[in-house]
Amino acid sequence: MKHGISLQLVDTHNQQPNRNRRECKYYWDELYTLVAAGGFHEIETPYDPMWAFGGRAGVPLVYGNIKAKDGTAESYLRRLNAAGIERVLGVHYMPGMFFNGASPTSPGANLDGYVGALLHFGEEAVDYVADIGGDYVTMSATPKIGDLEHAYGADFEAGCAAVLKATAAAVEKLAERANARGVKFCLKNEFWGLLRGEAVVDFVKGLNEKVWLDLDSAELAIAGVDPAAFARAHAAEIGVVHYSDTAFVDDQACYRQRNPEFPAVRASKVYRDLGDGKLDFAALERALTEGGYAGAAVVGCRDSYDVCRSILRARSYLNTRLPER
Amino acid sequence: MANIKLSHMNHWKTIPYRSIDNFREYYYEDRSNNVYFQDWDRILRYHKALGYDGIEVAPWDLNEILGLFGSIAAFRDYVAGHGLAVSGMFHGVERAHIAGCFEQNLAEGKAAVDMIAALGGETMGTCPGSDYYSAPGPLTEEGIQNTAKILNAIGEYAVDHGVKLGIHNEFFCAINKDNHRHLLEITDSRYVFYYLDTAQISIIGEDVVKFYDDYHERMCGFHLKDTADPKLPDAVRYGPNVEIQDDGHRWFWEPGEGVIDFESLWKLMKKHNFRGWVSVEDDGTPDLLASMALSSYYVHEKLKPIYW
- What's the residue count for chain B? 308
A15 and B12 within 8 Å at the Cβ level: the answer is yes
Give the 3-state secondary structure of residue B46.
helix
What CA–CA distance (Å, rounded) separates B231 from A286? 63
Q: pLDDT tens digits for B70-102?
A: 999 999 999 999 999 999 999 999 999 999 999
Element at A162 (helix H, strand E):
helix A156-180
Q: pLDDT tens digits for B14-49?
A: 899 999 999 999 999 999 999 999 999 999 999 999
- Chain B's closest residue to A256, CA to CA, is B67
Contact A321, A284 (CB under 8 A): no
SS3 per-residue string spanning B130-150: CECCCCCCCCCHHHHHHHHHH
Contact A246, A221 (CB under 8 A): yes
Half-sphere exposure for B188 (CA within 13 Å, toward CB) = 14
CB atoms within 10 A of CB B297: 15
Structural domains counted in chain A: 1
Count Cβ atoms within 10 A of the Cβ of residue B147 and give its class: 0-12 exposed, 13-18 middle, 19 or more buried. buried
Contact B13, B43 (CB under 8 A): no
A56 and B242 within 8 Å at the Cβ level: the answer is no
Q: Does A320 lie at the interface with B, CB-CB under 8 angstroms?
A: no
Per-residue model confidence (pLDDT) at position A323: 63
Per-residue model confidence (pLDDT) at position A17: 86
* Nearest residue, CB atoms, A21 vs list B64, B243, B286: B286
Give the ipTM.
0.93
- Contacts for B59 with CB less than 8 Å, ≥ 6 apart: B89, B90, B91, B92, B112
A24 and B30 within 8 Å at the Cβ level: the answer is no
Q: pLDDT tens digits for B146-199?
A: 999 999 999 999 999 999 999 999 999 999 999 999 999 999 999 999 999 999
| Per-domain residue ranges of chain B | 4-303
**What domain range is A193 assigned to?**
3-321
What CA–CA distance (Å, rounded) separates B144 from A162? 44
CA B284 to chain centre: 13
Contact B141, B181 (CB under 8 A): no
Q: Does A105 lie at the interface with B, CB-CB under 8 angstroms?
A: yes
DSSP state of B33: G
State mean pLDDT over A85-107: 81
Q: How confident is the model at residue B269 (pLDDT cuts 50, 70, 90)?
A: very high
CA of A236 vs chain B CAs: smallest distance (Å): 37
DSSP state of A48: -
Per-residue model confidence (pLDDT) at position A102: 45
Phi, psi of B85 (to 5 degrees): -130, 160
- Contacts for A165 with CB less than 8 Å, ≥ 6 apart: none
DSSP state of B300: I
Range list of H helices, chain B: 23-30, 40-49, 62-69, 72-81, 102-119, 141-160, 180-186, 198-203, 208-215, 234-237, 262-271, 288-298
Q: How confident is the model at residue A149 (pLDDT cuts 50, 70, 90)?
A: very high
In Å, how far are A159, A161, B101 from B93, measured between CA atoms?
Answer: 32, 36, 10
State mean pLDDT over B104-108: 96
Q: Is the pLDDT confidence value at A266 over 60?
A: yes
What CA–CA distance (Å, rounded) separates A129 from A183? 7
Per-residue model confidence (pLDDT) at position A2: 87
Q: Which of A259, A261, A270, A313 to mutate to test the interface with B (most CBs of B within 10 A)?
A: A259
Tell me the residue type at B50: L
CA of A52 vs chain B CAs: smallest distance (Å): 11
Q: pLDDT tens digits for B207-229?
A: 999 999 999 999 999 999 999 99
Q: How confident is the model at residue B113 (pLDDT cuts 50, 70, 90)?
A: very high
Per-residue model confidence (pLDDT) at position A1: 82
The enclosing domain of A146 has a CATH number of 3.20.20.150
* Nearest residue, CB atoms, B29 vs list A23, A147, A269: A269
pTM of the model: 0.95
Q: Is the pLDDT confidence value at A325 over 60?
A: no
Per-residue model confidence (pLDDT) at position B172: 97
A17 and B286 within 8 Å at the Cβ level: the answer is yes
Per-residue model confidence (pLDDT) at position A324: 58
Per-residue model confidence (pLDDT) at position A110: 84
What CA–CA distance (Å, rounded) separates B258 from B261? 9
Chains A, B: CB contacts within 8 A come to: 109
Distance, first Cα to last Cα, chain A: 5
Q: Is the pLDDT confidence value at A106 over 70?
A: no
> Of 1.10.540.10, 3.30.200.20, 3.20.20.150, 3.40.50.170, which CATH number belongs to B4-303?
3.20.20.150
B15 and A269 within 8 Å at the Cβ level: the answer is no
Give the 3-state secondary structure of residue A153.
helix
Range list of H helices, A43-107: 63-70, 73-83
Residue A250: which of A192, A188, A305, A187 has the closest Cα? A192
